[in-house]
């Protein structure tokens, strides 16, 4: 016992030594606390009212370049889940004289306000919680201050609570208790949350440790943080007990019956003396054509001094590396947090295996060869897309990706229903079906939206349209999958004699045309009715029992004939009529009718009929609305619908309407509309192309502006969802613009998109496409297998996520942040178009 105490004291002394060289935190002009190696953000990023807790808000710690802590706020749960209530933050005040930031946190459901004041104190910050009124009775024992730490940066590291040594678990292991649901605090905005499997109880995790002082990761100086609580115990929880995306949580309860300053923490993140982030050498992991421009973008810490030169080494057949080029570094400048320089090695054009050396840093190897881009879409089309086919059993060799999901079909969503995935059913069903009545015939075709298993109608419309464009422009005959709609069976890597993309078009269309014919218009979504089912991970077929719900049966009882059950797990159809969505469907149906002719003539005729009907009805509905209230989506949908109907029918009325809408749209936003105009060129006369020319010149000006905007020359997004999709569309537009206006748009601009996707971007240099860029692709993605810290080949990550005010990130050791790691069916099929267009361009 005495030996353990001495060891604890020794570790504490060693930890204290790390602090001895740290500099004091300063409140900078960007309104966060900073010293070299440490940034403490205080409500620079706010909680959202949509998905609530996205693990990207509150008080945040960026520790030696990695955002390792977030969620610092008064919360109503020990281990908050995604849909738990989050506080509104109506006020935030920065006081430079007192070196403090103060924010008001409000829970309107409980009429509960608190104030959080964060003040620079030496090498750390003091976090103080103030209450002007005592805690509401129902929040006593529930409201507390939380700070959450990223598990992947802490598991297998040690921690000390009041000197007691322990280790963060790699996999969730902890003690829990269960309580009656009647005791559970209202947290979920009225959603149906748990089906409880008859228990009527909920899980409550117990703390791993309790004390007044905790040191996290004394064995890892770049992650070492000391937290001291002066009035209340600190409790350490493992949030992964309740949800795989949970973080380690340090928490103190707020006291009952008190006002004023009720809780004080001191938080001291260790700052390694004179720490400088390693350079991030951005380049294409896929490699380069011998003839293309080759420029590495090197991201440097602002305390780092740029070198004058960098080198290229070639790996010979004998395994030895030889320097074959060295060149000067060109300065681009500052972009948010970092400084950027560029290294042009375009003159290296001999096929081979290479790496870049910058100072003492060298990259992994890459190829220069004429075939490096030949397979960039294969994983997406061969694997990711068929795995996301709904209502099908999907097999790959010895592995079953999922059984046939949702055999029971879909129930009519009740009126005035709010859905946790931002959908809702309006005051009526807008159909002939009664609430909770099965709508027959919808359990066919369609694609899972993303890392979840619902059919987002808007996304599926775009997906089928993307397949049609890919087929019509590039005719990919690739056949690597067996698809049988009658058997409802897919087998990967097993050719069946039919181009896969035709089968994808048919599969997506089957669900969408069923919606149009059976419901009468397009549903918003076909999704889960119970939140527990919605965040299901694993086999999609096991979300539900495959049997329609029968209210005459007891809970979990199965009817004698085996055709229904008492399980309330059925999927719902949200059917509120939306004119804009119907317009988009009309566009897709018009295009699909062309492709399916000669392949599935019956489906072709049905889609054309629905296109004309939906266009007529949607136009009448939109005419009743004020024109200034119509969003760009509705206007764009109307424009593209008329274009597709003209291509399919050659009727002049559709051509006239398309051009009536096109030119004002180009005047308003050329970068958004130009691709649609370019796609129309083969179907219009020469005068149309010439009228379009000045708009292409204007688009060229937009491209040139991007060169000055950021060192990568692409449209980087700064929202809560990273912008790989926008960059992919940018690349597609360049490919089409170069095809029709090569004298204005140079083909070299398209390589900016491949460079970005395959490794030339901020934060790290991994390829953002799973299994593409095999030397260093990302290892984890937010897919339906994310709990396994794995990926589905061909998935395209949203990419590099911006956190205000100046931090870019993309975790490759933590898949659970969808804004940076979740591939979607819409985004991945956009990538399919770009990849096809790009391969066509480089030929």
End-to-end distance of the chain based on CA atoms, in angstroms? 73
CA dihedral 26, 31, 34, 38 (to 10 degrees): 150
What is the widest separation between alpha-carbon atoms in the chain? Answer: 92
Whole-angstrom CA distances from 217 to 160, 165, 269, 749 are 8, 11, 11, 45
Contact criterion met (CB below 8 Å) for 622 and 677: no
Active-site residue, 822 included: yes
Query: Of these residues, 148, 454, 456, 822, which one is catalytic?
Result: 822
- What's the length of the chain? 843
Token look-up 């060149």 returns 327
Provide the 8-state DSSP code for 197. Answer: G
Q: Using only C-alpha atoms, what is the Rg of the chain?
A: 28
Whole-angstrom CA distances from 343 to 14, 277, 287, 308, 358 are 42, 19, 15, 10, 10
Query: Of these residues, 334, 374, 746, 813, which one is catalytic?
Result: 813
Alpha-carbon distance 581 to 573, whole Å? 15
List the one residue out of 86, 82, 102 whose CA is nearest residue 94.
102
Alpha-carbon distance 100 to 609, whole Å? 64
User: Own/partner pairs for 426-429, CB < 8 Å, 24+ apart?
Assistant: 426/576, 429/575
Alpha-carbon distance 138 to 738, whole Å? 64
Alpha-carbon distance 581 to 577, whole Å? 8
Q: Does residue 418 sit in helix, strand or coil?
A: strand
Q: Does residue 822 sit in helix, strand or coil?
A: coil
Active-site residue, 408 included: no
List the one residue out of 550, 534, 528, 546 whose CA is nearest residue 437.
550
List the one residue out of 159, 164, 126 whose CA is nearest residue 145.
126
**What is the token pair recorded at 635?**
């206007």
At how many degrees (to 10) do helices 500-514 and 579-596 cross?
Answer: 140
Contact criterion met (CB below 8 Å) for 368 and 350: yes
Q: Does residue 52 sit in helix, strand or coil?
A: coil
Measured in degrees and rounded to the nearest 5, phi and psi for residue 675 equal -65, -40
Residues carrying an active site annotation:
813, 822
């Amino acid at each position: 016992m005495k030996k353990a105490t001495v060891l604890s004291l020794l570790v504490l002394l060693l930890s204290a030594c790390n602090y001895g060289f740290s500099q004091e935190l300063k409140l900078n002009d960007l309104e966060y606390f900073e010293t070299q190696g440490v940034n403490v953000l205080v409500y620079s990023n706010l909680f959202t009212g949509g998905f609530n807790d996205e693990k990207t808000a509150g008080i945040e710690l960026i520790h030696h370049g990695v955002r390792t802590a977030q969620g610092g706020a008064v919360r109503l749960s020990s281990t908050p889940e995604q849909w738990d209530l989050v506080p509104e933050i109506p006020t935030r005040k920065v006081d430079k004289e007192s070196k403090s930031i103060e924010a008001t946190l409000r829970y309107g459901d409980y009429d509960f306000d608190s104030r959080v004041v964060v003040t620079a104190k030496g090498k750390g910050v003091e976090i103080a919680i103030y209450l002007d009124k005592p805690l509401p009775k129902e929040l006593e024992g529930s409201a507390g201050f939380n700070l959450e730490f990223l598990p992947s940066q802490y598991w297998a590291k040690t921690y000390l609570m009041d000197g007691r040594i322990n280790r963060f678990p790699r996999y969730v292991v902890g003690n829990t208790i269960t309580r009656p649901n009647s005791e559970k605090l209202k947290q979920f905005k009225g959603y149906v949350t748990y089906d409880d499997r008859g228990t009527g109880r909920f899980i409550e995790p117990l703390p791993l440790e309790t004390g007044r002082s905790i040191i996290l990761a004394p064995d890892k100086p770049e992650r070492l943080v000391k937290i001291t609580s002066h009035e209340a115990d600190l409790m350490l929880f493992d949030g992964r007990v309740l949800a795989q995306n949970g973080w380690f949580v340090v928490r103190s309860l707020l006291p009952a019956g008190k006002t004023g300053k009720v809780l004080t923490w001191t938080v001291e993140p260790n700052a390694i003396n004179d720490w400088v982030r390693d350079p991030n050498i951005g380049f294409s992991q896929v490699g380069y054509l011998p003839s293309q421009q080759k420029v590495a973008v090197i991201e440097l810490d602002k305390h780092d001094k740029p070198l004058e030169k960098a080198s290229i080494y070639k790996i010979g057949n004998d395994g030895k590396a030889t320097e074959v080029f060295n060149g000067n570094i060109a300065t681009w400048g500052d972009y948010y947090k970092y400084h950027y320089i560029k290294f042009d090695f375009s003159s290296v054009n001999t096929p081979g295996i290479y790496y870049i050396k910058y100072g003492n840093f060298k990259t992994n190897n890459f190829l220069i060869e004429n075939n490096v881009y030949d397979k960039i879409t294969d994983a997406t089309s061969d694997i990711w897309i068929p795995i996301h086919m709904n209502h099908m059993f999907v097999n790959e060799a010895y592995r079953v990706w999922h059984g046939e999901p949702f055999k029971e079909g879909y129930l009519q969503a009740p009126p005035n229903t709010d859905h946790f995935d931002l959908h809702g059913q309006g005051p009526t069903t807008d159909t002939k079906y009664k609430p909770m009545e099965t709508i027959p015939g919808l359990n066919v075709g369609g694609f899972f939206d993303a890392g979840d298993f619902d059919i987002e109608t808007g996304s599926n419309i775009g997906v089928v349209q993307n397949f049609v464009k890919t087929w019509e422009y590039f005719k990919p005959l690739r056949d690597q999958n067996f698809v049988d709609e009658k058997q409802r069976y897919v087998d990967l890597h097993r050719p069946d004699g039919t181009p896969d993309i035709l089968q994808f078009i048919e599969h997506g269309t089957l669900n969408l045309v069923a919606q149009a014919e059976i419901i009468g218009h397009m549903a918003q979504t076909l999704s889960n009715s119970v939140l527990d089912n919605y965040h299901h991970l694993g086999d999609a077929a096991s979300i539900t029992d495959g049997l329609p719900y029968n209210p005459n049966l007891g809970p979990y009882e199965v009817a004698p004939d085996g055709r229904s059950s008492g399980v309330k797990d059925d999927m719902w159809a949200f059917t509120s009529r939306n004119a804009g969505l119907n317009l988009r469907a009309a566009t897709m149906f018009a295009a699909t009718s062309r492709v399916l002719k000669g392949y599935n003539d019956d489906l072709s005729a049905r889609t054309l009929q629905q296109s004309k009907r939906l266009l007529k009805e949607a136009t009448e509905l939109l005419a009743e609305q004020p024109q200034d209230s119509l969003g760009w989506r509705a206007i764009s949908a109307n424009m593209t619908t008329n274009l597709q109907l003209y291509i399919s029918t050659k009727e002049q009325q559709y051509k006239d309407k398309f051009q009536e809408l096109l030119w004002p749209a180009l005047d308003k936003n050329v970068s958004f509309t130009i691709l649609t105009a370019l796609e129309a060129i083969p179907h219009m006369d020469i005068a149309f192309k010439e009228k379009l020319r000045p708009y292409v010149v204007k688009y060229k000006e937009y491209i040139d502006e991007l060169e000055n905007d950021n060192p990568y020359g692409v449209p980087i997004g700064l929202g809560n969802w990273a912008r790989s999709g926008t960059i992919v569309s940018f690349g597609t537009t360049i490919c089409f613009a170069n095809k029709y206006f090569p004298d204005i748009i140079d083909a070299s601009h398209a390589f900016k998109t491949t460079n970005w996707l395959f490794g030339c971007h901020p934060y790290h240099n991994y390829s953002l496409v799973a299994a593409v860029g095999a030397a260093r692709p990302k290892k984890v993605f937010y897919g339906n297998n994310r709990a396994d810290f794995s990926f589905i080949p061909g998935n395209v990550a949203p990419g590099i996520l911006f956190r205000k005010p100046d931090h870019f990130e993309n975790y490759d050791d933590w898949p659970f942040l969808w804004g940076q790691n979740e591939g979607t069916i819409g985004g991945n099929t956009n990538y399919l178009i770009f990849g096809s267009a790009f391969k066509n361009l480089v030929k």
